[in-house]
Structure 1
């Protein structure tokens, strides 16, 4: 899913910044054009950032699997979150990642979503402003601390995907490859990070940022977005 790209050029212009990698669902020509305007090289998320989390979360060797090792007693006091190592540049237009639920722990208090840098990590995704989350224990989609009915519960063995469409400023989630529909409208157009929140003992999840095939058909989805955006002149 991830391809290394060096010295990519247009017909008559050489890129001034290297492209670290492009997930396979991004058309190379489009990404080449966008990266030309970046002032500094920008990376997409590839793993969890152990230095951008609370001590209640342990990052395992591959940088993709995390587990909750905190007390897990008080749902408000013991929450812990972790951000990915890089934000999603809004210039890419859209982005998607998936999380495999390895163990739901004692209560299944797992939240998957997106958040801005510097948002407190002692809160679940969506409990604070500029943070968005879909929670497994109740199926609610949280934004600014308010939960709305959204999707089914999820637990061990499920795969939850999260996608952001910067063209129309929406966030959607998937479960086991099925699109659950738009969860949030009018989302921030700033750079957001993939985020996971955990609360109860034994919870364990593993992310896929594109190194492995997704359960959701993101290639078809991305083509549909690009066709629509091209037709109205946004690209």
Structure 2
């Protein structure tokens, strides 16, 4: 199976520029990306993980023709056991992690869920009392929709990633850098994947939030609250990667 294995995954984070990165990578002729951006294989709790059917995973990609195969499912960094399952599938997997200021990420995530009707509560409540909802979730303590705060504990998640894969197999980037000037970021990605240099593309915006009345605003009080919540984890991330936000 080795020659057929998927070689790289953009494993995080949601609302962190992964769609833009996937879009840019789709222009590289030496890559064979999944037909749909998010495959959601390693976070699928319906799979028998004692005997996973990797054929079902490979069916999400073009036939193997020697090109590097890759996908982008940003929940993998956050979802329990996803990284462990990836390591069992391909210990040589290269993982790209796009991080965005966790406060901005939480706000963007909330707006997405509110716009599509999954969320009905105001943002201020969701990032305070609303976090208790995750204790009624299955698996316990995690949630696909309501994890506005929890997905932003990057230090904890990156530490887990580094415990499962050699650091040279992980590339941690800032979404803000990709958006401001994609050329240097994509050059790093190409080098990481062993691709030849390519022309720097023009910046693009993808998955911009809907214009609508959200009934909430991101207040200074919300920002200060979340900065305090993230303070210890932010220090851990800085120690691990040198990256800082806010």
Q: TM-score range by the shorter chain?
A: under 0.3
TM-score (norm 2): 0.23
Tell me which protein shows more strand as a share of its residues.
Answer: 1
Tell me which protein shows more helix as a share of its residues.
Answer: 2
